Structure 1
Amino acid sequence: MRFMLILKATGYSEAGVKPGPAHSEAMAAYRKSLAEAGALLAAEELQPSSAGIRIQYFPGEEQPVFEAGPFVTGQGLLAGYTLIEVNSEEEAVNWALRMPVPQGFGTFGIEVRKLEEQADYARNPINRALVADLEDQLELLKTYLKETKI
């Protein structure tokens, strides 16, 4: 099962203030332990919302509305994410609890969210190979039917 550990933005992260080398080293060690456990799929920090653009669609409006950042911190802004693959929600929560918390930078929040399972089907190389094989067989059948004019 894949889970996203979503790091909530703070006033500090929105201002581009980094916690410092001790926290960076702790995060590097955390990510290394995730990788060594075979759980790490991706991990990225996001730029502050001042570098972002929000696109909103309103009912009854034909065109979307564009809004340039920065956005208000209390609107569920994200500062980064870590994508992991583990066996259970409990394991995902345990990894989230091991994430280093920057000290002196306000409230730190992590949201743990499970990804939809349909994506797992497409990611499985065996399934992709089966689909490719079926597509090849379908093309061969179409060619045969054209040639025999059935």
Structure 2
Amino acid sequence: MRFMVIVKATADSEAGVMPSEQLMAEMGRFNEELVQAGVMQAGEGLHPSSKGARVRFSGKDRSVVDGPFAETKELVAGFWIWQCASLQEAIDWAKRCPNPMPGESELEIRQVFSAEDFGDALTPELRAQEDRLREQVEAQQARRP
């Protein structure tokens, strides 16, 4: 099972406060553990929402809202993609994580859908398309330095 582990934003992360050298080192060690255990597939920090935008959909209409966004506790400051045998394994790893922010912070863990989760709605044609796109993405990533 794959899980997205979401690092929730704080007032500091939204203000653009960068992590300390100590926190960077602690997170580096934790990420090394994740990689060595075969858990980590991806992980990145995000710029504050002031540097972002949202695209809103209403039927066929689209509108763009520039950041920053008001509800800091609902924003994402970073993420990992982990491969774990269960939600409990992901929770166990998350509990080992250094506190990602000074003071109070929170990680949210959400399972990523797999093809099997969609049942009959994922027709053989759609599954073939999904497989083809995944192969193309992997090939593109392999070509990048």
Q: Which interval holds the TM-score relative to the shorter structure?
A: 0.7 to 0.9
Between Structure 1 and Structure 2, whose CA radius of gyration is higher?
Answer: 1
SS at match of 2:58: coil
Partner amino acid for 2:10?
A: T
**Structure 2 unmatched ranges of 5 or more:** 118-126, 133-145
| TM-superposed deviation, 1:63 | 1.9
TM-score of the pair, normalised by structure 1: 0.73
Tell me what 1:109 maps to.
106
| TM-superposed deviation, 1:74 | 3.5
Percent identity between matched residues is: 36
The answer to whether the 8 A contact 2:55-2:62 is kept is: yes
Matched, 1:29 2:26: no
Structure 1 residues 6 and 58, CA gap change in structure 2 (3 angstroms): same
Of the structure 1 ranges 72-81 and 10-19, higher mean CA displacement relative to structure 2 is found in 72-81
Partner amino acid for 2:52?
A: G
| TM-superposed deviation, 1:90 | 0.5
CA distance in 2, matches of 1:13, 1:41: 23
**Structure 1 unmatched ranges of 5 or more:** 121-126, 133-150
TM-score of the pair, normalised by structure 2: 0.75
Q: Find 2:87's aligned residue among 83, 86, 89.
A: 89
RMSD: 2.3
Structure 1 residues 102 and 85, CA gap change in structure 2 (3 angstroms): closer
* Matched positions, count: 121
